[in-house]
Structure 1
Amino acid sequence: MRIGYIVGSLSSTSINRSLAKAIGGVVPAGVEYVEINISDLPLYNRDADVDYPQVARDFKVAVAGVDAVIFVTPEYSRTIPAALKNALEWGGRPWGTSVWGGKPAAVIGTSPGSVGTAMAQQHLRNVLAHLDMQVMGQPEAFVQYRDGDLGEDGSLQSESLRAIVEGFVGSFCAFAGFQERQAA
């Protein structure tokens, strides 16, 4: 099974990028965990539908090449970052060529605030449902970031965060059908 992950932040020092790396450290054997980069996508403009730029075609190929997607996103102004929304548009356009439909998806994010990225996650779930992704509802992963929870390399430094991440990954692998594939 191949799980792609998309980090909603473009920052190289994002705590959500560190969280994405931490998730990769606990995926089970047999799961390939690959980043789908959104940082090079230009702003979506439907004029490009007649001649899709190569970077957008490459992005769609990357999404099509995974079995499931984990979105790791910060919350900007109580919603998802513009870069993430832009990537969702590129993947869903032109009409009739969406790469999102039917793929299992999960949403997680971290923030220093006490509710983590709850609003962004709710908004993102709504958009993903519209794009016909099969979105895992539970466990909801509203992670409050605390200094020392994550190493810069994405290593989990906190046992409570490790439990959250391991539970999230285990639930998503089951939701995406990994255990069934393993047993077959």
Structure 2
Amino acid sequence: MEKYKIAVFVGSLRKESFNLKTAKALKALAPESLSLELVSIGQLPMFNEDLEDTPPREWEEFRQKIREADGLLFLTPEYNRSVPGVLKNAIDVGSRPYGKNSWDGKPAAVVSVSIGNISGFGANHHLRQSLVFVNVHTMAQPEAYIGDAASLFDENGNLTNDSTKDFLRSFMEAFEQWVKTHVNKPENVN
């Protein structure tokens, strides 16, 4: 069985983040062909094009992780009807230097997780706008908006809601097919 390396980006830096808990649940629910790896974005210096002559080590390591991935999975909370600054910074860092966009052509999926009822709808769609510009092929269906996140996990961070587990499992199965269809590997080229 072919294994696909999936880089996972969590837009919340909080230790008890529901997005991080959801990312861990997705890792456990993912089909065997998907190998999910959390990629830290909190340590990335803010993007500043003046630094490109001698880019920070963190930028270079981050860009390499993106290039090595077969697919991308983004989890985002909603901050003021948009994505957190740390996630936008990660997209900016990965898209540069000009002409060397690390995100280019990668298949991806977006999950928004919120304690509210609208489930991070605004953040989900703002993130998709940025991903279109950096040429990430983002799965359209099924969409994943996870609301009322505070009620879905136990005190150890385990997902306890069976219908949410079922949905996330089917989401990851659809993502597996999306990656297989869109991954840019030489053996898949006709």
TM-score (norm: length of structure 1): 0.93
Q: Of 93, 98, 108, which aligns to 2:96?
A: 93
Q: Structure 1 regions of 5+ residues with no counterpart?
A: none
Contact 2:77–2:84 (CA<8 Å) still a contact in 1? yes
Q: Of 156, 159, 182, which aligns to 2:159?
A: 156
Instruction: State the AA in 2 paired with 1:7.
Output: V
Q: Which runs of 4+ in 1 moved over 4 A?
A: none
Contact 2:33–2:176 (CA<8 Å) still a contact in 1? no
1:29 aligns with 2:26: no
Q: Distance in 2 between matches of 1:81 and 1:148?
A: 22
The 5 A counterparts of 1:80-159 are 80-151=83-154, 154-159=157-162
Contact 2:5–2:34 (CA<8 Å) still a contact in 1? yes
The 5 A counterparts of 1:5-24 are 5-24=8-27
Q: Distance in 1 between matches of 2:177 and 2:154?
A: 27
Q: Distance in 1 between matches of 2:157 and 2:132?
A: 29
Contact 1:25–1:155 (CA<8 Å) still a contact in 2? no
Q: CA deviation at 1:146?
A: 4.1
Q: CA deviation at 1:150?
A: 2.1
Q: Structure 2 regions of 5+ residues with no counterpart?
A: none
TM-score (norm: length of structure 2): 0.90
Q: Of 48, 68, 73, which aligns to 1:70?
A: 73
Q: CA deviation at 1:154?
A: 4.6
Instruction: State the AA in 1 paired with 2:135.
Output: D
Q: CA deviation at 1:121?
A: 0.5
Q: CA deviation at 1:97?
A: 0.9
Sequence identity percentage: 33
- Count the aligned residue pairs: 181
